[in-house]
Structure 1
Amino acid sequence: MARPGGRSARVQAAVHAAVRELTAELGRDALTVPLIARRAGVTPSTVYRRWGDLRELLSDVAVERLRPDAAPADHGTLSADLTAWAEQFLDEMSSPAGRAHLRDALLGDPDGGNAGRCSAHAARQIDVILSRATGRGESPPDTETVMDRVVAPLTYRILFRPDGVDAAYARRLAAGVTLLDE
Structure 2
Amino acid sequence: MAIKEGLRPGGRSARVQESIHSAVRALLEEQDRASVTVPQIAARAGVTPSTIYRRWGDLSVLLADVALARMRPDSEPANTGSLRGDLRAWGEQYLDEMSSELGRNLLRDIQCSTTPGLCTVIIGGQLQTILDRYPDQPQPSVDRLINLISAPTVFRVLFSAAPLEVEELHRLIEIALNQY
Work out whether the TM-score is over 0.5: yes
The structural deviation recorded for 1:8 is 1.6
Determine if the alignment matches structure 1 residue 127 to structure 2 residue 113.
no
Identity among equivalent pairs (%): 46
Query: Which has the larger share of helix?
Result: 1
Q: Deviations over 1:77-104 (max 9, x none)?
A: 1111111111111011011110010001
Corresponding residue for residue 119 of structure 2: 118
Work out the CA distance in 1 between the residues paired with 2:142 and 2:83. Answer: 13
Determine if the alignment matches structure 1 residue 80 to structure 2 residue 107.
no
Q: Which amino acid aligns with 2:109?
A: D
**Which of 52, 61, 75 is the aligned partner of 1:56?**
61
Output the aligned Cα RMSD.
Answer: 1.3
Q: Which amino acid aligns with 1:31?
A: V
CA contact (8 A) 1:78 1:178 kept: no
Corresponding residue for residue 105 of structure 2: 100
Q: Which amino acid aligns with 2:126?
A: Q
**Which of 15, 27, 34 is the aligned partner of 1:22?**
27
CA contact (8 A) 1:158 1:165 kept: yes
Q: Which amino acid aligns with 2:7?
A: A
Segments of 4+ in structure 1 off by > 3 A?
none
Worse-superposed segment, 45-54 or 155-164: 155-164
Work out the CA distance in 1 between the residues paired with 2:163 and 2:94. Answer: 16
CA contact (8 A) 1:75 1:81 kept: yes
Residues matched between the structures, number = 175
| Structure 2 unaligned residues grouped into runs of 5+ | 1-5
CA contact (8 A) 1:141 1:178 kept: yes
Q: TM-score, normalised by structure 2?
A: 0.92
Q: TM-score, normalised by structure 1?
A: 0.91
| Structure 1 unaligned residues grouped into runs of 5+ | none
Work out the CA distance in 1 between the residues paired with 2:108 and 2:57. Answer: 18
Q: Which amino acid aligns with 1:127?
A: Q
Work out the CA distance in 1 between the residues paired with 2:117 and 2:161. Answer: 23
CA contact (8 A) 1:83 1:175 kept: no
